[in-house]
Structure 1
Amino acid sequence: MIVLKISNSSEVVASKVGKFLEFLTPDSVDQSTVEDQVIKKMVENLAAEGLKGEIAAVNGLDIDGSDLSIHEGMKVRKHTTF
């Protein structure tokens, strides 16, 4: 299993739409938007390589160094099979 944590979603959104619009959107929307685009590209690339599997965006899961924390209310926000 591979876990990917994106830590600069606000900066990515700001660079794409501008600082003013980024200021108006909550960080959770920025995170979801970036995660959705990353998932889309990963599915395209992995499927093109002939790989099959599943990918999910999960809320309530944190990585801190070698520690993996599961928070109450953890849920799968998005799930895709490729």
Structure 2
Amino acid sequence: MSNRPQAASMIVLKITNASELVAAKVGRFLERLTPDDLDSFTVEDQVIKKMIESLAAEGLKGEIAAVNGLDIDGEQLVLNEGLKVRQQATF
């Protein structure tokens, strides 16, 4: 039996309607004043917070991260320039 740790599987979540969600919550005028990246980060941060709460309540342990520069194209993961972890948390 090997003592080598097993590779973890990952779930990748891509949020595609952050601007629309922010506009619905704060209004179109304010949404137009904020950059799309800020909208995406705000929504991602809230999703991460809620996911951590839910997963931890179920007894799961792991890590969650917001990653810039990673995209999904069908069954392919595409690594773009500027790939970096924007936020990481352990639960």
Class of the TM-score when normalised by the shorter of the 2 chains: over 0.9
Instruction: From 22, 28, 40, give the equivalent of 1:13.
Output: 22
- Output the aligned Cα RMSD: 0.6
1:2 counterpart = 2:2 = no
Secondary structure of 1:79's partner? strand
Q: Distance in 1 between matches of 2:42 and 2:74?
A: 25
What TM-score does the superposition give when structure 2 sets the normalisation length? 0.88
Size of the aligned set, in residue pairs, is 82
Aligned-pair identity in percent equals 74
Partner AA of 1:68 in structure 2: L
Corresponding position of 2:61: 52
Bigger radius of gyration, 1 or 2? 2
After TM superposition, the runs of 4+ consecutive aligned structure 1 residues lying more than 3 A away are: none
The residue correspondences of 1:1-82 to structure 2 (distance < 5 A) are: 1-82=10-91
64-73 vs 12-21, greater mean Cα deviation? 64-73
Q: Distance in 2 between matches of 1:72 and 1:18?
A: 33
Partner AA of 1:67 in structure 2: Q
Q: CA deviation at 1:66?
A: 1.2
Gap regions ≥5 residues in structure 1: none
Higher helix share: 1
Gap regions ≥5 residues in structure 2: 1-9
